[in-house]
Structure 1
């Protein structure tokens, strides 16, 4: 459906050759994104491609370098609302993923129009939602506020917080309360703490983001902050 005589080169799968940074085709005035550029992708990626292409088009019209991309916006916002109040649910659930109910095979195999997955009822949906790890909420530790009472270490349900003497990464990983065996996951290591010169080490691999450390901390050294990352857009 794309004209072949307007200066656009085509590559694998007969798709237009598109720059993955600027979304510009080999015809400098034509931009692509989404399925038209790289085949089937979800609508979230397609929308992101459109925003990036819009930035390129705006820069092209203004005679600017389209490779000079604006930085994305990111920030952290505390979720603390009061002394013991937070703007997210920090319930700890040990439940495993709930199985979505299915229609009886004796019915679904007879009629292709029958919906196979029945979905959760209200109770099941609520219980499944309680498994949320609040992945957008980050644990933020401020060394200068820590009095090394170790209350956070004591209350952590997964033993992901440790106060130990600093050492080599290999020794640290072996000596944590729960050994950190996943070498692809960096550890959060604080500066030396004032009272004992120990360091606080947190293993994100086993953190539930439950916020109990922040609730228990008497000095506010721990905080739960929502992380926002947003690509630059042109409106």
Structure 2
């Protein structure tokens, strides 16, 4: 992200024009659901899946993940079939219980009360995104961008550019919230000031992003103030 993008966040104060949320691992703690589904699919095909492999897939475009599963296991399904099977299992678990991440719902509610639009930017496909969004009050998200509706998935910038475009806002005036290295790269490369909340996998220090341990207690005003005093390398001074 350019220095001008950071300046847009720090110079005017106040609230972001919009907040662009990742879903899996950021809004909801569904990564264990995905990992469980991966283990089951591979083991049913007679293979052995590892958490090391699973962690390599966190935040990825689902087509990339499905091809990785096919290349590293006995699973012979086509990538789209792998995705559909993964989604079926994860959606079933989400319908039983939506595992919200700490502070996420509270921040969403506060942003909506303050009139700040939210967009969901996820590499999950529409069926899972709808299951999560459907458990929230209508209108919580003003836009939903899913992995099956973009040409290029994360870490490409397209998903975040599409989200900002759908809301009619400048990416530099928004804030993205992500939990994975892949997602952070996507948001930062789109020019969005990014807050990383590492969860299942570590997130390297990234120019254009700041890290917080949790969203618990974070307010809408905090989303911009977090960038005050941040150097170009993402560190505070």
Q: TM-score, normalization: structure 2? A: 0.22
Q: Which has the higher strand share?
A: 1
Larger radius of gyration: 1
Higher relative contact order (CA 8 A, sep 6+): 2
